[in-house]
Chains A and B, each alone.
Chain A
């Protein structure tokens, strides 16, 4: 069940209505049931994998607590439990996501024709819920008694499978989501929260349907026949891809946050105006925040972080980005994408001393320099997106080669888009940029809309305009299939 499908638009109000009508004590259980139903709409069999991950991490949390109470001086027992939890969870993840890929690599290395005995589709969202569950295990382990394990299996299972963020994040931390789930029973209906949730969802749909899916039409069209195009067309396509992937993934996250807020649960923000970043490091503070912070906390810091010298820091950074690339998919081009970001980051680390000597500080930057840095950052990120978007490393190189060697005099208006498609896209991206800049400057747009200052009439005009622009100008319906969210494949 996709967020941008009619089924979801029917499912959500029914779930929410019953949620508020039923006794408060039953709410967690209800959300758990509908979360599993939501997941099983894709493939009922794969719900077993979530259940396994849930049970293993649930008991590992409780197990660690018992062991620590019984053997307070022997932390290695708890370590064993964490290791076991990691082995099982990562084992499932590697098996379903990487087995065939690894087999292919082994076959190539050994010059053997190794055929996979397994044929299965990748379970939707497996990377997300596995990381969320493992994050919980690590939190309990690291908490050393300060964070207690969740005893209630229903609440814990809901933490792992909460449907708004189940298939594409944000990868929540137990400190945030589990705590809120605990207090579900105490929550009263809050119309303001529901309204805010609905507004968030509407904005998410705007990002996904009006911008991302419209940009996707042109991106797919150009990249399918890339040999016919040159520098200008392919550059336009990749700039649009950068916009597409942001609006697609951020659109999903915003819808997820909105849907969760209807139930009184606040999910973390996964994006903070990433294309306004002035460096790659800054970009990663703003892009897919939940994954970046997961890797920082559970991989980068355990590897030593920046505490063991510059070389080790660069090595650790590279490892994190290579793993991040691999997390996105079992394919070399994702690894190259991760490696590129690792290289960008390491180059920044290497030039840091020069920058320090020149006294370049972000806060002191003029608008012009800031803009220049934003553009350079965007270009670097967009070059990396070429490797992300391509089906293989070879294809990415072919795109780059075509981009740098061919020049075709093709009107942009002949690239499958009618003039009004361009107009819609430009205006919509303009709206998104304005919202991002206002957020960056600290303005709280939604709060302003709800405030007395906005006024009732204007507020309702904004609601209607937003609703109708999504309804009329969104890309779906007769000519298009309901488009998948890009991050569902991870």
Chain B
């Protein structure tokens, strides 16, 4: 009896000790468990493209041979249906909104865990460059990647290098970002309902690809059917020129890591830029500086850079119909681009035939015309006034007719007819659109642009 009691008491002692040793682990397990529960309750990602893309990337049965990385320019431009066929390989588009190169590197490492990557193509949108990562404030573009990276050192490094320490908790505990939603019964109920659907559980696209203007196809490619007509290109604010030093030290470090990683793992690597409308190139004014800086950065690395903004029109027309807005290709544009890209990579098209040698040469090749406008808005108590500036190549006359359209676009009021493109004001509180018809002749026979602006 005494022996039994001794055994029980010594066992209790060991259990207690064991529990004390294991308690930090138990704490961590509970921490992650509650974190997941909170995330489930308040983080509504039922319409996240990245969630679908990352799931597909992880669950690909076939090896991913070719990986595309980059910003929205990438996920809207690389049609994997076409690249699969032309490369005769499994290609995957891992682009995400405003994806910076630290994000690209994190995704590359995540993808390489399960796949024997043969080729990696990294897109280089100029507007991504120049970030100091610890000064980032809007971190949505970081979180849409980190939220779907598997728990790993790679994820921790990405979050800790990609945002200042004040933001780390929001990065590691996504529910923390939406803490206010804890007090919204409607939001929690809606989130749970959305997550309990079969579509969500099976990682299916939530819309209808047949009718939606924009829809998720597969393997990261997001198609968009919208088109630009009559050079309807406009942007609010002054269009900024490319800075003399565009890449931050953080950018350089991330790009170097991508280069080193691919070199170490014998992965063929290339950088590329997707064609943008001429409007964008003309408005920037010195896009050539960006090309020079990329080439300078890659000098000596042996990694090529292909800028498809230098394409000859025989290969890529840059027609309005290929774009969905001032920046991005639509599905028709993506199809053209994907074919061209694959052709170049597979050696079916010669680089020297496809591209002009320089930005200046490219600019000389394009016609003189008005490509769109930029505008600034000044609001007083009574009026909202618009100041316009044309984005044009060459010296051209400009006459504009301006109409105020009702929100349903059924009726309009004529504000100006064939007059210079001066300031125009509308009363504060009214809503609708301004239609600006631009002509290069006083008689109004040569319509160059029909631009719609919300007011």
- A binding-site residues for B, Cβ under 8 Å: 5-7, 191, 418-420, 423, 460, 463-464, 467-468, 471-473, 476-478, 481-482
Contacts and interface: CB of A to CB of B under 8 A. Distances in A.
A389 B180 CA distance: 29
A7 B20 contact: no
Nearest to B182: A472
Nearest to A465: B34
Interface centre among B20, B166, B183 (most CB of A within 10 A): B166
Interface stretch (B91-99, B167-175, B238-246, B367-375): B167-175
A6 B166 contact: yes
B294 interface: no
10 contacts: A191-B20, A420-B180, A420-B182, A460-B26, A464-B31, A468-B38, A477-B170, A478-B170, A481-B166, A482-B166
Contacts of B177: 477-478
A477 B180 contact: no
B165 A5 contact: yes
For the complex of A and B, the 10 pairs showing the least CB-CB separation, nearest first, are A420-B183, A6-B165, A472-B179, A6-B168, A477-B170, A191-B20, A482-B166, A478-B170, A464-B30, A7-B165
A420 B180 CA distance: 8
A471 B168 CA distance: 12
Interface in B159-198: 165-170, 173, 175-177, 179-180, 182-183
Interface residues of B, number: 23
Contacts of B175: 472
B180 A467 contact: no
Contacts of B179: 472-473
Interface centre among B137, B168, B177 (most CB of A within 10 A): B168
B153 interface: no
B169 A464 contact: no
Contact of A423 (B137, B170, B183): B183
Interface of B: 20, 26-27, 30-31, 34, 38, 137, 139, 165-170, 173, 175-177, 179-180, 182-183
Contacts of A6: 165-166, 168-169
Contacts of B170: 477-478
B99 to A, nearest CB: 20
A468 B169 contact: no
B30 A460 contact: yes
A187 B289 CA distance: 65
Given A420-B183, A476-B169, A481-B166, 10 more contacts: A5-B166, A6-B165, A6-B169, A460-B30, A463-B27, A471-B176, A472-B179, A472-B182, A477-B167, A477-B169
Nearest to A6: B165
Given A6-B166, A6-B168, A420-B183, A477 B176 contact: yes
Nearest to A420: B183
A476 B30 contact: no
A419 B139 CA distance: 27
A450 to B, nearest CB: 12
A273 B186 CA distance: 40
A20 to B, nearest CB: 14
B14 to A, nearest CB: 15
A214 B179 CA distance: 14
B15 to A, nearest CB: 11
A420 B176 CA distance: 15
Nearest to B17: A191
A472 B26 CA distance: 20
A3 to B, nearest CB: 13
Interface centre among B26, B139, B169 (most CB of A within 10 A): B169
A471 B175 CA distance: 10
A476 B165 CA distance: 11
Contact of B166 (A423, A463, A467, A476): A476
Nearest to A475: B179
Contacts of B183: 418-420, 423
A473 B179 CA distance: 7
Contacts of A467: 31
A477 B38 contact: no
Nearest to A473: B179
Given A191-B20, A477-B167, A418 B180 contact: yes
Contacts of A418: 180, 183
Contacts of B137: 478
